[in-house]
């Protein structure tokens, strides 16, 4: 078990103003990924939180930075990894859920038959902002009969209220809150 403090972790999150567009303060996780202790701490905190009664057997990672945390977490906990991707990326038959953005809509896709009923799923992404993305991923899991045990993030932008949009019964855990 590694043990970087919140302050040490936050020092490894780089704020990039006006990326990818004006007015967005982008939380860049790459300095944290390059620090083995910090990356391991994030994974350990998530796996410790989702143990015992909250245990999961499948990690659903959201493209693209959710793959980084999700795949590492799945390998570390000996669970399955299932990617949820942006439209047009997955090669085989897939399910699709659309969700609304400030202007227009976007969608996420998951290969059909990725899950079966009885799977206990943890949905993982790097950041939760407004919550629209993770809610679409949760809908995909439910569509395939999986039980969403929780949603885990390295970073929560609490002032955007995403947590409130996540359905009741889904345990929400963020390593770092802003
Ligand atoms: P949302 O659907 O609003 O919760 O946005 C979450 C998705 O957008 C995640 O996949 C994040 O990777 C990305 N995202 C949103 N805001 C930020 C931010 N300030 N910094 C980095 N990534 C962000």
Q: What is the CATH number of the domain that holds 59?
A: 3.40.50.2020
Active-site residue set: 65, 102
Cis peptide before 65 (omega within 30 of 0): no
Verdict on whether the full-model pTM lies above 0.85: yes
Residues paired with 95 in a beta bridge: 110
List the domain range (segments joined by +) for residue 173.
54-177
| Rounded Cα distance, 37 and 2, in Å | 6
CA of 80 from ligand 1 middle (Å) equals: 24
**Predicted confidence (pLDDT) per residue in 26-62, tens digit:** 999 999 999 999 999 999 999 999 999 999 999 999 9
List Cβ neighbours of 5 (8 Å cut-off, separation of 6 or more): none
Q: Answer whether residue 164 is part of any domain.
A: yes
- 81 within some domain: yes
Asked, for residue 87, whether it belongs to a domain, the answer is yes
Q: What is the whole-number distance in angstroms between the Cα of residue 88 and the centre of ligand 1? A: 20
Measured from the Cα of 128, ligand 1's closest atom is 4
Contacts of 26 by beta carbon, 8 Å cutoff, 6+ apart: 15, 16, 17, 19, 20
> Which residue bears the tokens 């990617």?
83
Domain tally, the chain? 1
In this predicted model, what pLDDT tens digit does every residue of 81-93 receive, in sequence order? 999 999 999 999 9
In a domain, 33, yes or no: no
């Amino acid at each position: 078990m590694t043990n970087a403090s919140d302050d040490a972790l936050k020092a490894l999150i780089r704020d990039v103003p006006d990326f990818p567009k004006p007015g967005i303060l982008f939380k860049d996780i790459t300095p944290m990924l390059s620090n083995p202790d910090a990356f391991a701490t994030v994974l350990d905190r998530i796996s410790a939180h989702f143990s015992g009664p909250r245990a999961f057997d499948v990690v659903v990672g959201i493209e693209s930075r959710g793959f980084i945390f999700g795949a590492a977490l799945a390998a570390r906990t000996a669970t399955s990894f299932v990617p949820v991707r942006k439209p047009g990326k997955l090669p085989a038959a897939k399910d699709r859920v659309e969700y609304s953005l400030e202007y227009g809509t976007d969608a996420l896709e998951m290969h059909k038959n990725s899950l079966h009923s009885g799977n206990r799923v943890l949905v993982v992404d790097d950041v939760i902002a407004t919550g629209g993305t993770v809610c679409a991923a949760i809908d995909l899991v439910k569509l395939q009969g999986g039980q969403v045990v929780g949603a885990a993030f390295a970073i929560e932008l609490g002032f955007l209220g995403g947590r409130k949009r996540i359905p009741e019964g889904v345990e929400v855990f963020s390593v770092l809150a802003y």
